[in-house]
Amino acid sequence: MFSGKTTELVRRVRRYQAASKLCLLLNYKGDARYAEAGNVVTHDLTQLKAHPVETLEEAHNRVWQYDVIAVDEGQFMPGIISFMP
C-alpha cells in the first residue's frame, strides 16, 4: 500500500551516505515488483542498491561493519522484532 515508506527510507539512506556514513540497505529477496532483487525501488522508480535477504540473520555477520542499517519490506522477514545486532 502506497504511503511513501520506501521513498522516505531511500531519502534517509542517501542523507546518511552524504554524511559519509557506511550504510547497509537490506530488502526482502522475494520483493521483485519493480526490479530484480538487489534494488530498493520506489513507486516513482527511484532505485538504490540493496542486499537481498530472506531473513535478517543472513546479514548478521555483515551488520557490524556499518554505521546505518536500513531495512525495506521488513514485514516479510521472520524474526525482525527479535533481531538486534
Measured distance CA(50)–CA(5) in Å, rounded: 16
pLDDT tens string 3-54: 889 899 999 999 999 999 999 999 988 776 666 667 888 888 888 899 999 8
Residue 68 corresponds to which cell in the numbers above? 546505518
pLDDT tens string 50-64: 999 988 888 888 888
The alpha-helical segments, DSSP class H, found in the chain are: 5-18
Catalytic residue among 8, 36, 57, 73: 73
According to CATH, the superfamily of the domain at 5-74 is P-loop containing nucleotide triphosphate hydrolases (3.40.50.300)
Is residue 54 flagged as an active site residue? no
Q: Considering the entire predicted model, what is its pTM?
A: 0.82
